[in-house]
Structure 1
Amino acid sequence: MRPARMLTALAAATLALAACGSEGSSSGSGDDNTLTITANAISGGKNAATADWTKNWLIPKFQEAQKAKGRNVQVTFQPNGVDDEQYKTKIALDLKSKAGADIIDLDGIWVGEFAQAGYIKPLNEAAGPEVDKWEGWSQIPEAVQGLGAFEDKKYGLPQGTDGRVLFYNKKLFAKAGLPADWQPKSWQEIIDAGTALKKAGVPTPLQIDAGTAMGEATTMQGALPLLVGTGSEIFADGKWAGGSQAVKDVLGFYRQIFTAGLAEPRLQQEAKGRDKSFQQFADGKIGVLAEGDYFWRSVIEPKAGVAPMQDREDTVGYALIPAKQPGAGVRGQDFVSMSGGAVRVLNPNSKNPKLAWELLAFMHSAEATKEGLIGEARITSRTDVNDEVLKDNPMLDFVAQKVLPITSYRPGLAVYPQVSVALQEATADIVSGKSVEEAAAAYDKKVADLVGPENVTR
């Protein structure tokens, strides 16, 4: 189904969602000094911190700044507290109807789909040339700007983001004779470390998510970082990666670690396999685990983590994910990563797009970005804010300084989730013992069936 038709169908099927927790007027009503902001956030509920920041700090501050310029501006927040797909459908309905808020929160993975449907426009088309002169662009790494971009055009401003790295247990590394400051420079060096860990008696030397039970974690933590490490992307130049040599290289890496006994097949096949891998890493049974910085912040966090490690600071190391070999990654990189996150876009139907851009730019200023953290150490899209708020958190600072400039993003297209499942199924084939050729051929057919053979790169 074409993206525009898919979004239209979603919208038509859920007209009742037009009132799902929203308050305030749309951009199509009121005078030119009235603006609205919407997000899937609501005080006391989903993403409450975002809702509270918007209502209690952002809006009063912006209105105060505008008053100082002699303008009486009224900004209204439209809260939502629903399932992400319901929120997505409501926004699609609003935009299709040329209604909705002036500034809209979107998941970065939706940008391409909304752009193809014609529901959003590049920022400089929506608000004018002042967009390109914004000071904030110099503080957002080009790779991070990609979160809000589609086909080389900037549709939204990225909010917070994250990055994937290799976490490793320094105590197990010492037992295996490996360095505490490990930084592999190729896939082979990962395999070499796994081999040394196996010889040292580590139960599971490597954990690179695979299979369908892991869901999108397989794609984001394993398959896609490996794929960009070959210099290829899942979607590029209008085509999807089929059973190409790059995909075969990724599947070949998986086959190598599983056939050599460096990874545990059962972890990939169990319903709670990912959670079990977290606990096993915390228990010192996994040597290397590929994950996002969420793992550091929320899983092995010593006090409130899902699988707390009291000795996290001394025991856990982290390294960049290497390309297949030096220089083989996307953009000729030696190291790679994948990231996700949310963006804010301008409604192309806004009655006052230039004022809306002023508000959007203010929302992403250093002051507003820092205030939105509410004292927490989290990675933002702005380098200047990260330099300040992450200086006492070496791991998150590592992601901000080293990972974000080299990261990549999933394509924000409607068919992506289905392609992702096909890729997960290909890795599951490898785990179950199929050959690389068999797994790649099955994957290629599925992708061709989804997008048409003419839209597949082989």
Structure 2
Amino acid sequence: MENMERRRFLGMTASGVAGAAGLTSLSGCGAGSGSGDVTLKLVAADYGDPGGNNSSETYWKSLADAFTKKNPGIQVEVTVHSWNVIGKKLNEMVESGNVPDMAQLDSYANWAAEGRLYKVSELLPIPAQAAFLVPLAEAGEVRRVQYGLPFVASTRLLFYNKSLFAKAGLDPDSPPKSWEDLKTAAKALKAAGVKIPYGLPLGPEEAQSEADMWMISNGGSYVDGVGNYTINSPRNIEAFTWLRDNLVAPGLTNPRPDRTNRQDLFDAFGRGEVGMLNGHPTLMPQADRHSVQYGTGKLPGKGGAADGTLGVADWMMAFKENGHRVECGKFLSFVYQEKNHYAFADRYDLMPVTIATTERMRRDPRHKELWRFLDRLNGAEFFPVGKVSWATINTELKTTIGKAALKGADPKAVLSGLQRKAEAADKKAER
């Protein structure tokens, strides 16, 4: 049986779930500060793309103003950071004692294990807790207690530029299905003068995601079925060795993938400079703004299209330090009201995390293109965010794992070094 650390989406429905109306009430939350004027501080990640005029700061300011209008005694100050730096910034804040009231990030378990976070049951009433998609809510648990509130989710598909495919003599309606197909297409794109046949973002922004997709495409993963790290498994080593020898060494990717960030390649895709890359839903509106004719397909696997894909969930959490439990609960309930949660998911073409909002997106024909990503949730594999050591290893992966794919690199040595650090971090977390 799969455990909490290596979760696969097994469905999109749950029984006994109250609707979004349950998110508007805070009865049963218990005592807290709850009196006088309070200013809550929230640190959040930016989902916008540079030059797109869609920074998340705009969304949060509007939401904070609307919340304060309904709750005059509570102000909300939001600081938005790019994904490149938010983890580092938040760690520095916590370590220096300048702890925010709430944060929205891609990990939470280390702070939960240190006793810094409120339990979800201390923030939201039962109907509000029950409104989340069950597997995502469970993925927010550390040692069977939920501390992380899922914020948005996404899955990954292979994107390709149809115009560049046609220019290279490739079928614009047939994405590559296997690694060999991918290599063949990349060679043809390079011969046709395409600047970056395959975009490989293994830089510090999101190296852990691109790396995991290559592992998944060969039946590998960061952890096994019982939650033990398997970073240097034979399947993972094989995936990076193939990537090194068949795409990176022949010059079919961007130079120095270990220094290339995802957003840089998304921007290049919008400029028509990238033939193929793995992407999430926010790449769609960016490509549309630049009139890029693109197609999508399943992740290419060793012997054919991969069965699984990467699923990513980001998390909201509330810190105890400032004692604003009741106020945090009120604001978080407001954030997850259907209209507010849907507004964010709609703005960035991401997948919502509550049942009611997901069903609404399924009914919205404007999001027909997003349905293909929703379909991939069934079977998607998520990072082991419930492991206390994950935040430490996630940071290490971002700066190190890209080196395993470089020309002349030793994938086994790089992955084994990460494995040793992961095992050491795991032991430390268990003390």
Equivalent runs, 1:218-297 vs 2, <5 Å: 218-220=207-209, 222-235=210-223, 237=226, 239-258=228-247, 261=250, 263-264=252-253, 266=255, 268=257, 277=265, 281-282=269-270, 284-297=272-285
Counterpart in the other structure of 1:136: 131
2:366 equivalent to 1:392: yes
Distance 1:217 1:127 in 2: 30
Choose which of 380, 394, 416 in structure 2 pairs with 1:406: 380
For 2:131, give the aligned amino acid: G
Equivalent runs, 1:301-380 vs 2, <5 Å: 301-302=288-289, 309-310=290-291, 312=292, 315-325=293-303, 334-345=307-318, 347=320, 357=329, 360-371=332-343, 376-379=347-350, 380=352
Determine if contact 1:346/1:357 at 8 Å carries over to the other structure.
Answer: no
Secondary structure of the residue aligned to 2:392 is: coil
Choose which of 106, 120, 125 in structure 2 pairs with 1:123: 120
Distance 1:49 1:279 in 2: 21
Determine if contact 1:120/1:155 at 8 Å carries over to the other structure.
Answer: yes
* Cα gap change, 1:297 to 1:161, in 2 (>3 Å): farther
**Higher radius of gyration, 1 or 2:** 1
Q: Deviations over 1:199-231 (max 9, x none)?
A: 666564322234xxx3233332x2111123344
Determine if contact 1:337/1:408 at 8 Å carries over to the other structure.
Answer: yes
Distance 2:391 2:261 in 1: 28
2:41 equivalent to 1:38: yes
What residue ranges of structure 1 are gaps of 5+ in the alignment?
Answer: 1-26, 64-73, 303-308
2:399 equivalent to 1:421: yes
* Cα gap change, 1:202 to 1:47, in 2 (>3 Å): closer
Bigger CA drift: 177-186 or 273-282?
A: 273-282
Determine if contact 1:41/1:79 at 8 Å carries over to the other structure.
Answer: no
TM-score computed with the length of structure 2 as normaliser: 0.69
What residue ranges of structure 2 are gaps of 5+ in the alignment?
Answer: 1-30, 46-54
Determine if contact 1:425/1:443 at 8 Å carries over to the other structure.
Answer: no
Secondary structure of the residue aligned to 1:105 is: strand
Cα displacement (A) at 1:356? 6.0
Counterpart in the other structure of 1:5: none
Choose which of 182, 186, 205 in structure 1 pairs with 2:174: 182
Counterpart in the other structure of 1:20: none
Higher relative contact order (CA 8 A, sep 6+): 2
Choose which of 404, 415, 428 in structure 2 pairs with 1:443: 415
Name the structure with the higher helix share.
Answer: 1
Distance 2:223 2:127 in 1: 26
Distance 2:426 2:318 in 1: 32
Cα displacement (A) at 1:346? 7.0
* Cα gap change, 1:403 to 1:253, in 2 (>3 Å): farther
Determine if contact 2:214/2:240 at 8 Å carries over to the other structure.
Answer: no
Q: Deviations over 1:347-380 (max 9, x none)?
A: 4996866x9656534431212323557x735323
* Cα gap change, 1:454 to 1:360, in 2 (>3 Å): closer
* Cα gap change, 1:205 to 1:245, in 2 (>3 Å): same
Determine if contact 2:106/2:315 at 8 Å carries over to the other structure.
Answer: yes
* Cα gap change, 1:154 to 1:393, in 2 (>3 Å): same
Equivalent runs, 1:82-97 vs 2, <5 Å: 84=86, 85-90=88-93
Cα displacement (A) at 1:321? 1.9
For 1:168, give the aligned amino acid: Y
Q: Deviations over 1:32-55 (max 9, x none)?
A: x9887431269xxx9533443343
Distance 2:375 2:180 in 1: 25
Counterpart in the other structure of 2:165: 173
Distance 1:280 1:90 in 2: 33
For 1:335, give the aligned amino acid: G
Distance 1:248 1:281 in 2: 28
C-alpha RMSD of matched pairs (Å) = 4.3
* Cα gap change, 1:30 to 1:198, in 2 (>3 Å): closer
Cα displacement (A) at 1:261? 3.0
Percent identity reads 17
2:408 equivalent to 1:433: yes
Distance 2:44 2:422 in 1: 33
Secondary structure of the residue aligned to 1:370 is: helix
Bigger CA drift: 52-61 or 278-287?
A: 278-287
Distance 2:283 2:322 in 1: 40
Counterpart in the other structure of 2:27: none
* Cα gap change, 1:179 to 1:56, in 2 (>3 Å): same
Counterpart in the other structure of 1:159: 151
Cα displacement (A) at 1:441? 2.0
* Cα gap change, 1:173 to 1:384, in 2 (>3 Å): same
For 1:81, give the aligned amino acid: T
Secondary structure of the residue aligned to 1:341 is: strand
Secondary structure of the residue aligned to 2:408 is: coil
Determine if contact 2:137/2:149 at 8 Å carries over to the other structure.
Answer: yes
* Cα gap change, 1:228 to 1:92, in 2 (>3 Å): farther
Distance 2:426 2:67 in 1: 47
Cα displacement (A) at 1:417? 0.7
Distance 2:372 2:318 in 1: 28
* Cα gap change, 1:194 to 1:455, in 2 (>3 Å): farther
Number of matched residues? Answer: 375
For 2:61, give the aligned amino acid: D
* Cα gap change, 1:198 to 1:41, in 2 (>3 Å): closer
